[in-house]
Amino acid sequence: MPSVPGVGYSPRTYVLIEAAITGLNLCGVALMIATISRSKRGAAVAVAALVLCAVLLKTMASNVLFIPGDSSLWVTLAALLGIAIGGLLWVMLIGAPLAVQIASATTFIALGMALVNAAPENPYLDATLRVWQHGHYASLNDLTAVLSGTWPFAAIAFLTYAGYRLR
């Protein structure tokens, strides 16, 4: 059953929603990094390092958790489109006043979180998880679920504080 009435699963909607979630979160986090960086160059280096680390972690996780030897399993049209959208949005907003960057980061992270919760269930992912042997990765899976559910709230709290301090 879809989370939002009238929005059912289709490969096209799933790609669009996944790309939007990736792009919004990437841009939100990149803008948050920019708010604490001393320069645009420093922010660019930190964001590039973050994206590189995320790519490496996703590659290792795909190799270990799903099909051994297929470490590029996570590289999908949606992931690549989301990275491109998030990077483009960030480049467009990096020169904006700090208050605009903080407000945009907060909005993008909140929208990303809302989209995650409103997205229809992916029947293919559900079927994959049913046959996946969790084994000793169960606690890692639980920890990942907790972190993915709480980081947006921590980021929004930080950005709210940063916006308050800006006044």
> Into how many domains does the chain fold?
1
- Cα–Cα distance measured from residue 148 to residue 138, given in angstroms and rounded to the nearest whole number: 15
Structure tokens, 120:
């229809």
Residue 4 maps to a domain: no
Structural domain containing residue 68: 11-166
Phi and psi dihedrals of 5, rounded to 5?
-55, 135
Residue 155 maps to a domain: yes
Residue 15 maps to a domain: yes
Residue 60 maps to a domain: yes
pTM score? 0.82
Segment 19-24 mean pLDDT: 95
> Which of 67-76, 89-98, 135-144 shows the lowest per-residue confidence on average (mean pLDDT)?
135-144
Tens of pLDDT, residue by residue over 84-100, are 999 999 999 999 999 99
